[in-house]
Structure 1
Amino acid sequence: MSVIDCDYLPADKMVLPPELALLIMTKASAMAAAFEEQALDQLTKDARRALTQGAEPRRVIRDMRL
């Protein structure tokens, strides 16, 4: 039993098979890359819109916390 006395914690540790761990890592990496691409696209779009509306580049940098 752990330091916390509760019945819902597993009694023994489950070990993931290496091939499952590799698939999870691959999927997580692909998800992170997709999120990074979406974030880059959105930040670029927001910066361009602000500049088009006449904002100063320094203001855009500050507002976007870059």
Structure 2
Amino acid sequence: MSVIDCDYLPTDKVKIPAELALLIIRKAAAMAATFEEQVLDQLTKDARRGLLLGSEPRRVIREMRL
């Protein structure tokens, strides 16, 4: 049996109702917004720490890969 012809790959298509799809999209958007805020807070905190320790702004930019 080749890797492509495996029994565990689903062959049946399942139609997701529009209402469920919309709820999934809304939940994903909310989760992404929360994650974005957390990342922004962490990056800001890291940048401030670097600057307070005396690093040059260019070095902070490079180290944070901005």
TM-score norm. by structure 1 comes to 0.88
Describe the superposition over 1:22-57 as per-residue Cα deviations: whole angstroms up to 9, x where unpaired: 000000000000000000000000000100010000
Tell me which residue corresponds to 1:44: 44
- For structure 1, list consecutive stretches of 5 or more residues without a partner in the other structure: none
- Per chain length, whose mean CA-contact separation is higher, i.e. which structure has more relative contact order (CA < 8 Å, sep 6+)? 2
Q: How many residues align?
A: 63
Tell me which residue corresponds to 1:24: 24
- For structure 2, list consecutive stretches of 5 or more residues without a partner in the other structure: none
The sequence identity of aligned pairs, in percent, is 76
Deviation, 1:8, is 2.3
Q: CA RMSD in A?
A: 1.0
* Runs of 4+ residues over 3 Å off in structure 1: none
